[in-house]
């Protein structure tokens, strides 16, 4: 972060904690954020298959200071638009917590599935993780139709996709690093190559997400 001029990052538990060990993952992230409050804010995780246990854990994590909620339905084992996740999204709405969904992995994590979920919960802000990159990147912009509550994450996208976002939905773009799957410097360079407007770059790299996360 220091090497790349990043002041603040949002971090989430890794895969095993996202899928199974939710409590342990949330506690780990919360501890890091408390240790370095100026550098990190946390995403809470909760797998909806745990039912009431999942609901209680999500409430606990949000009350413990987590700023947003992270889902990866491709490893948690449900379709983004499945009613299984509705109770957790309702909790996010009550806590005014933005929701990040990984997209780009068939058959459970696709842009149009997020479209249908966002239509059902217009009061919740959703971040389309990776914006369908790369096989489903072409669905990202159409999936915004009728859903002003969806933002596009730039991470893992080809420069041509970032350019298309900048032309068609500049106010919806937020930077993502996809670290450790990708590298921070590479993702920054890809956005800078695809976006020429310095004011828009300021929005993508911080202003938009600061407003959404209420930093």
The CATH code of the domain that includes 28 is 3.20.20.140
Q: How many domains does the chain have?
A: 1
Domain presence at residue 3: no
Task: Determine the Cα–Cα distance for residues 132 and 104; give it in Å rounded to an integer.
Answer: 4
- Residues in the chain, pLDDT under 70: none
Domain presence at residue 2: no
DSSP at 143: G
Domain presence at residue 147: yes
Side-chain half-sphere exposure of 73, counting CA atoms within 13 A: 28
Query: Which H or E run includes 117?
Result: helix 111-120
User: How much is the pLDDT for 189?
Assistant: 97
User: How much is the pLDDT for 149?
Assistant: 98
Task: Determine the Cα–Cα distance for residues 36 and 8; give it in Å rounded to an integer.
Answer: 10
| pLDDT per position as a tens digit, 24-76 | 999 999 999 999 999 999 999 999 999 999 999 999 999 999 999 999 999 99
User: How much is the pLDDT for 104?
Assistant: 98
Domain presence at residue 69: yes
Domain presence at residue 73: yes
Domain presence at residue 1: no
Domain presence at residue 188: yes
- Counting Cβ atoms within 10 Å, is residue 27 exposed (0-12), middle (13-18) or buried (19+)? middle
User: How much is the pLDDT for 107?
Assistant: 96
Q: Compute the 3-state secondary structure of the chain and give helix, strand, coil in percent, each to the nearest 5.
A: 50, 15, 35
Task: Determine the Cα–Cα distance for residues 43 and 191; give it in Å rounded to an integer.
Answer: 23
User: How much is the pLDDT for 51?
Assistant: 98
User: How much is the pLDDT for 170?
Assistant: 98
CB crowding 55-89: b at 16 or more within 10 Å, else e: bebbbbbbebebbbbbbbbbbbebbbbeebbeebb
User: How much is the pLDDT for 30?
Assistant: 98
* Phi, psi dihedrals of residue 148, rounded to the nearest 5°: -65, -5
User: How much is the pLDDT for 164?
Assistant: 98
Domain presence at residue 202: yes
Task: Determine the Cα–Cα distance for residues 63 and 55; give it in Å rounded to an integer.
Answer: 12
Parent domain of 135: 9-213
């Amino acid at each position: 972060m220091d090497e790349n001029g990043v002041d603040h990052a949002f971090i989430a538990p890794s895969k095993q904690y996202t899928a199974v060990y939710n409590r342990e993952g949330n506690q780990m992230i919360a501890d890091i954020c408390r240790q370095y409050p100026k550098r990190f804010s946390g995403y809470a995780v909760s797998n909806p298959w745990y039912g009431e246990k999942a609901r209680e854990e999500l409430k606990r994590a949000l009350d413990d200071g987590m700023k947003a909620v992270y889902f990866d339905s491709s490893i948690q084992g449900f379709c983004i638009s499945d009613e299984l996740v509705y109770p957790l999204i309702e909790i996010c709405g009550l806590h005014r917590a933005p929701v990040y969904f990984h997209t780009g992995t068939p058959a459970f994590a696709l842009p149009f599935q997020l479209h249908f979920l966002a239509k059902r919960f217009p009061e919740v802000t959703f971040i389309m993780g990776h914006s369908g990159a790369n096989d489903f990147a072409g669905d990202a912009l159409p999936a915004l139709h009728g859903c002003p509550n969806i933002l596009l994450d730039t991470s893992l996208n080809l420069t041509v996709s970032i350019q298309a976002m900048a032309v068609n939905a500049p106010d919806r773009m937020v930077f993502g690093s996809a670290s450790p799957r990708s590298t921070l410097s590479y993702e920054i360079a890809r956005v800078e190559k695809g976006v020429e407007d310095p004011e828009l770059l300021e929005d993508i790299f911080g202003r938009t997400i600061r407003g959404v996360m209420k930093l």
